[in-house]
Structure 1
Amino acid sequence: MTGPRIRELHDLADLQETYRLIGRIWGDDAGPVSVEMMRALAHAGNYVAGAFEDGRMVGCSVAFFAAPAGTALHSHVTGAVAGRGIGLALKLHQRDWALARGLSRITWTYDPLVRRNAHFNLVKLGARPEEYLTSFYGAMTDAINGGDESDRVVAAWDIAGPPPRPAEPPADAAHGVLDRDGRPVIGSVDAETVLVALPEDIEGLRRTDPGAARAWRLAVREVLGGLLAGGARVTGFHDRTCYVVTRAPRPPAAGPSDRSPR
């Protein structure tokens, strides 16, 4: 089987079709990016691309150059028809496009509660979350976000180096967030490695049990957000269910010989 055909987009007709596809994927006529913005970004030399099967657009991606200047690309939107490897093909095309322009890093934001996105970003691509952003876009009312606050993590993909080895949690890892009968329970973070569980289907939960969805948002915000703010690193995504977070080693306690004289 051959993959989708991917090409950069510049023509207005292609950009209008991109806008319609984004609207269908996000379930929102407005969508996260306008035709006019895509037109301006493409004209200025940024990345606007579409994936096609049998002449039909089945995926798209929009990205722009980012700081540090000359080294990074920020991917604002990537959407694809699910289940056929189109999203992966788009990200690999985006990587090759960035490398050809001397870039070494691609960043993007994603909802940390969505298991499949976490697995895709951390396991398939080898990106790593670097920063937790609380309600980054405010409340969002499209079909995917369902009125939830738009907490995001910034994922960074080192496209110039080898992919990181996935971290397996040690036996003594602490469970910072656990899934108990579909609801989050905040546990302990008092270990070098902390596991942060995610709900099985946060998008469905927003429709069927908004209270539980809100509880997950707050629990992951408190634990994962707090760990990242404190200097911890996400080093893997275990068993398609939970983040593996490694805390910075604690400095040894000062002994008598370490103390300065009064």
Structure 2
Amino acid sequence: MRIGYYIEKLINWLSFQGEGFFDAVRVVVEAVVNSVEWLLLLPPFYVLILLIAFLAWKRSGWGLTILTLTGLSLIWGMGYWTQTMATLALILSSAFIALLIGIPLGIWAAKNAFAGKLIRPVLDLMQTLPAFVYLIPAVLFFGLGKVPGAFATVIFSMPPAVRLTTLGLKQVPRDIVEATRSFGATSKQLLFKVELPLALPTILAGVNQTMMMALSMVVISAMIAAGGLGEVVLKGITQLKIGTGFEGGIAVVILAVILDRITQSFGLKKEIKV
């Protein structure tokens, strides 16, 4: 039985029938990514480096601040500032969309047992499929460029947001939930004033993991002309330019460490008041 044949038929059918929808999505997503990239490239490089370093200092102290200043200055010195900002714009846009979809799905899965059972195998499939597989429908739906890269990145990076949101809500102590209900709180008040604040550290861990997975997929997306640092690494591989490949890899590592430490700090240092 050729499962791939039927999947191919389904993808082609969706691509043809939903052409207008996919064109509209392409316009919106492309506008979002380009706007974020434009904002990142608008100030001089040293201003943005200082702003990110200030955020690093506020969240994690001097160690990360020095790393941020040194690492971003090195990226600029290697001549990959524009590519790094393109990669960062794609990461931020994709992660935002993934969280916008993933967190509500996680809440639904935590609140509805049937939804949880339905979503869990889908998440398993999304996390176990090879990352390169996501590029196929992305290209068929949106062509080449940043938009299919964002689409593939959203699908690849969404599962941690869903899983950790669900986990955080399920870990809220039942006695607190029951006490809140006994005081006459509505389901909406219970969710937004009790459960979500208590689950916030776990949800923020999901945000951190979503960002990291988005970064890894953005590099792979260079194969479908998404650009950024992934294109630098890909050029180093395809043209056997060892130095170029290593420089692109170093820039990716620096960006990954900075994003990881800053987003991680929000979960570690957030105080929850009940």
Fold shared by both chains (TM-score > 0.5): no
Query: RCO higher in 1 or 2 (8 Å CA, sep ≥ 6)?
Result: 2
User: TM-score scaled to structure 2, two decimals?
Assistant: 0.23
Q: Which has the higher helix share?
A: 2
